[in-house]
Amino acid sequence: DDYLNMLDGTSEMWTLIDWFHLNSLYYDKFSNSLIISGKNQDIVLSIDYESLELNWIIGDPVNWDEEIVNEYFFTPVGEDFEWQYAQSDVEVLGNGDILIFDNGINKSKLRENDILSRDTYSRAVVYRLDKELMTIEQVFEYGKSLGTLFYSPEYSNVDVHGINNYLIHSGENAWIRGVLNILPGYELEEGDYFVQHSTTLEILEGVEVFRMEMEDSIHQTLRASLYENTTNYSPAEGLNLGKHLVTPEFIGAIYTKLNVLDTVPEEHEINFIKEFDRLIFTANFNIGQEVYLVLERNNETLKYLIPTEENPFALVCVEVCDDDLIDVTFFINEEGVSGKYNIYLIMNDKEYNTYKNVTFE
């Protein structure tokens, strides 16, 4: 939100907890910038790697602030231009063109203009940018002619293997009760049936030279040689190129009443995992349940509000979904926290001792 208004350009997938949904990050060495995809605002943006200033935004400008549009958005030129919607993957080609997997959800920023499900499709698209005139031209697309059978609302990716040589993957073409699933995620009710399908294509000079189809959902694909004599891979220790932000604490009073039962009820299935740079807390809660995680040591108390609204990241129910329970994952970053803490939970005004502790270095 340092760059964008979270209420601008919202898509149908937009939620308060997941208003941007970053799903692709690419470093463009030619412009020394980060190219970032925000699925839930239907935009791809560029941020200067050194100054961290916003360079430009690719996307349908409908429902965006006029000042932002005038300064950062492009104006389409040329024939047969279409904006991308709910894109999943972005790459920068050697000539500076932008390659995108356009999932194509709704193909509109306004619900009254959404296309019919029978007309939907996904595609790969290449845009050419004129950053001086702030114009954008569509110079390549593939997938539109394949129609609904190449549509994927989420799992997908693109890759480049040479000039005009692209790998295009549509990973979750799903039909539930014979109806195309047009939004990310699905819920299965007892007795439901569904069919999953994925298609991977290689396109060379606009011609399909390879196709692989599978009856399953495949998140992404990568073309790799089975045999490569010239490769000598020597793993080295990874580098930490940044740090986490300080996890925001809950500011305010928390009312608690006497709790005879001290331990957390087993049905919540609480679990803690300490990684080198954060604490991971997982549990099951009722939707909308009031829950706080409390860390205590000596005279110090840290309080965190656990979000229990419907979770946009837990979209798929393998078994029958329970409308009243959600899986919750919450992180406390090590940044700004130090020492050994006892862990407590407050649920519905009652405090429980987890009899767990965590040490932050």
Residue 20 tokens read as 């941007």
Q: Which of 5, 6, 8, 13 is nearest to 114 (CA)?
A: 13
Residues in the chain, total = 361
What pLDDT score does 96 carry? 95
Average pLDDT over residues 105-111: 96
Higher pLDDT, 279 or 232: 279
Tell me the per-residue pLDDT of 150-209, one tens digit each, with 9 for 90 and over: 999 999 999 999 999 999 999 999 999 899 999 998 877 877 888 999 999 999 999 999
What pLDDT score does 319 carry? 40
Q: At 66, give phi and psi (nearest 5°).
A: -60, -40
Mean pLDDT of the chain: 91
Task: State percent of the chain over pLDDT 90.
Answer: 77
Q: Which of 82, 193, 198, 97 is nearest to 141 (CA)?
A: 82
Residue 101 tokens read as 């997997």
What pLDDT score does 243 carry? 79
Tell me the per-residue pLDDT of 289-336, one tens digit each, with 9 for 90 and over: 999 999 999 989 999 999 987 655 554 444 444 557 788 999 999 999
Tell me the per-residue pLDDT of 199-232, one tens digit each, with 9 for 90 and over: 999 999 999 999 999 999 999 999 887 766 666 6
Residue 236 — very low, low, confident or very high, per pLDDT cuts 50/70/90? confident
Residue 3 tokens read as 């760059």
Calpha distance 155→170 (Å, rounded) = 7
How far does the chain reach from its first CA to its final CA, in angstroms? Answer: 29
